[in-house]
Amino acid sequence: MAWDDSLESMIMLTDANISDSPAFVHRGLLIDTSRNFVSVPVIKKIIDAMSYDKLNVFHWHLTDTHSFPFVSTREPRLALYGAYSPSKVYRPEDIKELVHYATVRGVKIVPEFDAPAHVGSGWEWGERAGMGQLALCVNKEPWPTYCVEPPCGILNPVNDNIYSVLSNIYQDMNDLFQSDIFHMGGDEVNFSCWNETTEIIDWLRARGRNDYSKEDFLYLWTHFQNRSLEEVDKAYGNKQPIVLWTSGLTEDGHADKFLDKERYIIQIWTTGTDQSIAQLYRQGFKLIMSNYDAWYFDCGYGQWVGEGPNNWCSPYIGWQKVYENSPRKLIVNFNETFNGKQILGGEAAIWSEQVDGAAIEGKLWPRSSALAERLWTDPDTNWRAAEHRMNHHRERLVQRGIQADALQPEWCHQNDGYCFL
């Protein structure tokens, strides 16, 4: 049913036949709520807009070094120490409400607990509690030596107490999210901190690893990953799929040495031309595409640490580039035969160093709509064929209460075909 301005009346179809199905099963957005807090009402609006676009996975990057807003029933000290304020937390009832809200709109919430790096705030209480150092190098300077951005922090994998804490976190997440997939993070592990920690050096030496080389620290990291996975399996009661980011464990064609391809899904965040994509694909891993050169929506803003004109992944990524980024073509470009069972789909990511709930909608939409069409139909046509529809769709989003950025002057929308080069 639609309104016709020229006829000044409603037009209604008497019957219709619709044949429609998605090209990819995993069509998502990653929302980071650690660096800056995003309130429950704003998250609900994001889920609303996702449902309008047939996006079906809300990947929730819930914690990081900056804050720990997740209120764990079994480990309440994490949020007590790590939240920005008592009001900037997600309580169990908030999460249950959001999971139900998303489910009835066809959206699955997938929690991510990123480790062993990307931890810091909230982990300071270990020694006071008689549990030793749970996290190392928290807020340590100079930060570029120990992490990719301030503040620093990394878990202590040789402290057995860390695994009981992780077990409690995983149990709480399972109780609340009931997701059939779990994201364990696992990216940007800097070995400098571990290399300066006597407790870790002693642990390596006791196992005959005296070089303190990259291989030695990959051995330690694999130990942590395997122990953590055991706790995930206990918490969830089954061996469900686990997602990890591309990282030191997956580079140089070594992923199958450290990770089981039958268990792990790898989420790609390197460039779309990175050879590790082809290596992982040939090794048989299932992949989720989030290559930052097309699907990182925080790119193109100014520096937030120090001076300089642009942030690390600049330039800004327009909806046209989002639309052109086809997971199928990424694989074919490596001279590989595309296997739809291996490429699950993709996600766009909005890391929140420079965005919070006040501005997030405009940074997500309408670019997320371009992502949605790419993952639903994966059309052979390019962005030019979609431009007119994109302008119309942006107007529909605004009419439905989504603060989507404008794509062009309204004149272009009213005079289709004139705003081309």
| Domains along the chain with CATH numbers | 23-380 (3.20.20.80)
pLDDT lower than 50: segments of the chain: none
The reported pLDDT for the residue numbered 253 is 82
Q: pLDDT of 403-421, one tens digit each? A: 999 999 999 999 988 988 7
The reported pLDDT for the residue numbered 17 is 86
Which residues touch 115 (CB under 8 Å, ≥6 apart)?
A: 155, 166, 184, 185, 186, 224, 228
Q: Cα separation of 397 and 93, whole Å?
A: 29
Alpha-helix residue ranges (DSSP H) falling in 341-420: 360-364, 367-377, 383-399, 410-414
For the record, the structure tokens of 12 come out as 């209604």
The reported pLDDT for the residue numbered 16 is 85
Q: Cα separation of 399 and 275, whole Å?
A: 43
pTM of the full structure = 0.95
The reported pLDDT for the residue numbered 215 is 96
Q: Cα separation of 48 and 401, whole Å?
A: 10
To 5 degrees, how large is the angle CA 64–CA 349–CA 338? Answer: 125
Cα 124 to chain centroid, rounded: 25
Q: Is 4 exposed, middle or buried (0-12, 13-18, 19+ CB in 10 A)?
A: exposed
The reported pLDDT for the residue numbered 307 is 82
For the record, the structure tokens of 20 come out as 């429609």
336, 14 contact by CB (below 8 A): no
Q: Which residue of the set 141, 149, 188, 307 is catalytic? A: 188
Q: pLDDT of 362-403, one tens digit each? A: 999 999 999 999 999 999 999 999 999 999 999 999 999 999
75 carries an active-site annotation: no
